[in-house]
Structure 1
Amino acid sequence: MSNALVGAPLDAADYIKSHIRTVPDWPQPGVQFRDITPLLQEPKSLRVLIDLFVQRYFDAQLDYVAGLDARGFIFGPILAYELNIGFIPIRKVGKLPYKRLSQSYELEYGTATVEIHEDACKPGDRVVLIDDLIATGGTMMAGKLLLERLGAVVVEGAAIVDLPELGGSKLLREAGLAIYTATRFEGH
């Protein structure tokens, strides 16, 4: 008997999606929270995810991966390591110790602010901006604006999940940011 793999080829988007748990009515009634924790817990699914991003950006001549607080910090540094480039944290307000720039943005339930160190990158540096998901697009837009204020070229916004019905990916594309997501969920 052969040791060859049998069956249909692996579809990475479906595989990744199958490892994301939906938690209904969290953090409030009517919200379908897309929990990436199971995806991260299984070594194979984490590797498939990281390999997908590595293949996407291997020849992109990037200088940095910028990760959005907090879940962009989970896989952004892994991707930066695999690409042999630096990592830039974009943090929630009050978490960075050095001189910083701030950018506020709208949430479904109010406003928030993210910050970046003023020396995080140089003009012309090529950066991919990464987070776990794109919902309304506010966090990623704020990260894009911060990086651009430092003179960086934001090559693309990347996420594991797109929630297209919330309009964030459309908003970001209309603002000139190319978007790449590993999978998508219809509905909220």
Structure 2
Amino acid sequence: MVDLLKLIRNVPDFPIPGIQFKDITTLVHDKEGFKESCDKLAEIYKNRGITKVVGIEARGYIFGSVVAYLIGAGFVLIRKPGKLPAETYEMEYSLEYGTNKIEIHKDSIAKGEKVLIVDDLLATGGTAIASARLIEKAGGIVEEMAFVIELSGSLKGREAITKAGYKFSSLLEIPVDE
């Protein structure tokens, strides 16, 4: 077994002073670490009837596409505005410093499909919850959310997702202070 936590690089003061950025590029370029993280996520969700896996731009694509392949599901992109070429649904959500938007193709999820959301990291939960609402707007049912890393503690992502009525799992939990 690989110690996945040791493969996560901490980058101080990125992208702004005071942020301790958790860099997964060091995990994904390690072949054993990347394989183990994808295999572990897929193991949780195989045989659950999930028909689509949604990856959140951009690092969610890395893990989400592999998990979709391993569990036999289709893969759907959630992107920033203006990046998808066909008709989209759009969702605005709040950030600490303002708002942002994400989009999904209108024809990417059929009504009633069971969907798994995958991203690299759970911090405040804002993007994940907005993604879930976007999937529901498209007619899908959010089965669960999966993250490689959960930043637990003061960011309160776990609480936000639970309060919004969603379930999730994470491979690694890293405590953070205020």
Shorter-chain TM-score: what band? over 0.9
* TM-aligned CA deviation for residue 92 of structure 1: 0.6
Which stretch shows the higher mean deviation, 105-114 or 86-95? 105-114
Asked if the contact 2:47/2:71 (under 8 Å) is kept, the reply is no
Q: How does 1:39-188 map to 2 (within 5 A)?
A: 39-165=27-153, 166-187=155-176
Q: CA RMSD in A?
A: 1.1
Which stretch shows the higher mean deviation, 141-150 or 101-110? 101-110
Q: What residue ranges of structure 2 are gaps of 5+ in the alignment?
A: none
- Aligned mates of 2:63, 2:56 — CA distance in 1: 10
Q: What residue ranges of structure 1 are gaps of 5+ in the alignment?
A: 1-9
State the SS of the aligned residue for 1:92.
coil
TM-score, with length taken from structure 2 = 0.95
CA-to-aligned-CA distance 1:13-51 (integer Å, 9 cap, x gap): xx1111101111111111110000110001000011011
Asked if the contact 2:87/2:105 (under 8 Å) is kept, the reply is yes
Amino acid at match of 2:10: T
TM-score, with length taken from structure 1 = 0.90
More strand by share: 2
Structure 1 consecutive aligned stretches of length 4 or more whose deviation exceeds 6 Å? none
- Aligned mates of 2:7, 2:119 — CA distance in 1: 17
- Aligned mates of 1:74, 1:182 — CA distance in 2: 15
- Identity, % of aligned positions: 38
* TM-aligned CA deviation for residue 77 of structure 1: 0.9
State the SS of the aligned residue for 2:176.
coil
Amino acid at match of 1:155: E
Bigger radius of gyration, 1 or 2? Answer: 1
